Amino acid sequence: MGPEDLAKILKNLPSQQREEILVGLETPDDAAVYQLDEHTALVHTVDFFTPIVDDPYTFGQIAATNALSDIYAMGGRPLTAMNILCYPCKLGTEVAVEILKGGNDKVKEAGAMVVGGHTVEDEEPKFGLAVTGIVDPGLILIAGGARPGDVLLLTKPLGTGVMATALKAEFIGEDEMAETIRGMTTLNRVASELALELKASACTDVTGFGLLGHLLNMVSHHLTCILRVSDIPFYPGVREMASQGMLPAGARNNRLYYEKNVIYPDDLDALTIDLLWDPQTSGGLLIALPPESEERALKFLKAKNPCGGYLIGYFTERRSAPIEISI
């Protein structure tokens, strides 16, 4: 669902305040946090979607990696997961088995366990998981904690929406998006460990609202984030596919809803602007850190994170807009 429709729905829900709910509906974070005692809080999240690749095992892996991501974005450790599978039974049971195996393997890699699930017969397959994790209430990472002077790191390249659109339109085969698939099946675990170890001031993951949409959740009213567009990484083939018109509808929705908050340089090309709004599946983490941690963070990510680490901007006191883009 686009950001505008979602905002309309959420604003009509009654607000629920309770002391134990450390992160709930009022904040832009995608996971909820419920405090059990002084040292333990539960982290809850759910995510599912239609296939974005043809191979069912790979789809299962991507869906699980994506569902686990919101636990990592909060600094949590996943414990248990429940499958959500909507499925046309005419596809036969083997395909469903492959999807669930892919999901199960990623949950296992995360050190968690699939402990149940629910199926619904449906015209189009959909798969994902509800994941429960734990976090130390004193160490929760939230989207809105960045401070002036912090640097901004991104832990995966962008462009999964463009590549999935190109695959669907049969402009490319799955082998031509191997790097993108590798990225979408890479857990955000290492990135989350880094954010915890270096005491990140803010963290979120990049998913459906694109880089700029999710970044806006990190930019509180007294801050501006300056992005250096030449430092923003894209998966191989993304620019070429976008130039051939393979931009998903979600990118347009994101741009329409959020663009008033962004200032572009005059000479920024239209293609790059589009790409900054591309909705991501299983995207990386955006991490805000004090500048003195920058070098250590990049070294850590380059050594341990399969998708690397990228310094893409920094935060300052508020200028004329929440996000300003420089070349």
Q: Interface with Co ion by CB under 5 A: which residues?
A: 30, 47, 70, 205
Closest to Co ion by CB, 72 vs 264, is 72
Question: Smallest distance from the beta carbon of 66 to Co ion, in angstroms?
Answer: 7
Of all residues in the shown chain, the one whose CB is closest to Co ion is: 30
Q: How far apart are CA 13 and CA 30, in angstroms?
A: 16
Closest to Co ion by CB, 47 vs 242, is 47
Question: Smallest distance from the beta carbon of 171 to Co ion, in angstroms?
Answer: 27
Question: Smallest distance from the beta carbon of 38 to Co ion, in angstroms?
Answer: 27
Closest to Co ion by CB, 69 vs 166, is 69
Question: Smallest distance from the beta carbon of 128 to Co ion, in angstroms?
Answer: 9
Question: Smallest distance from the beta carbon of 299 to Co ion, in angstroms?
Answer: 26
Question: Smallest distance from the beta carbon of 212 to Co ion, in angstroms?
Answer: 15
Question: Smallest distance from the beta carbon of 140 to Co ion, in angstroms?
Answer: 14
Closest to Co ion by CB, 1 vs 169, is 1
Total residue length of the chain: 327
Closest to Co ion by CB, 28 vs 137, is 28
HEC sequence for the chain: CCHHHHHHHHCCCCCCCCCCEEECCCCCCCCEEEECCCCCEEEEEEEEECCCCCCHHHHHHHHHHHHHHHHHHCCCEEEEEEEEEEECHHHCHHHHHHHHHHHHHHHHHCCCEEEEEEEEECCCCEEEEEEEEEECHHHCCCCCCCCCCCEEEECCCECHHHHHHHHHCCCCCHHHHHHHHHHHCCCCHHHHHHHHHCCCCEEEECCCCHHHHHHHCCCCCCEEEEEEHHHCCECCCHHHHHHCCCCCHHHHHHHHHHHHHEECCCCCCHHHHHHHCCCCCCCCEEEEECHHHHHHHHHHHHHHCCCCCEEEEEEEECCCCCEEEEC
Question: Smallest distance from the beta carbon of 73 to Co ion, in angstroms?
Answer: 5
Closest to Co ion by CB, 264 vs 280, is 280
Closest to Co ion by CB, 70 vs 166, is 70
Closest to Co ion by CB, 131 vs 167, is 131
Q: How far apart are CA 15 and CA 37, in angstroms?
A: 23
Cα 112 from chain centroid (whole Å): 19
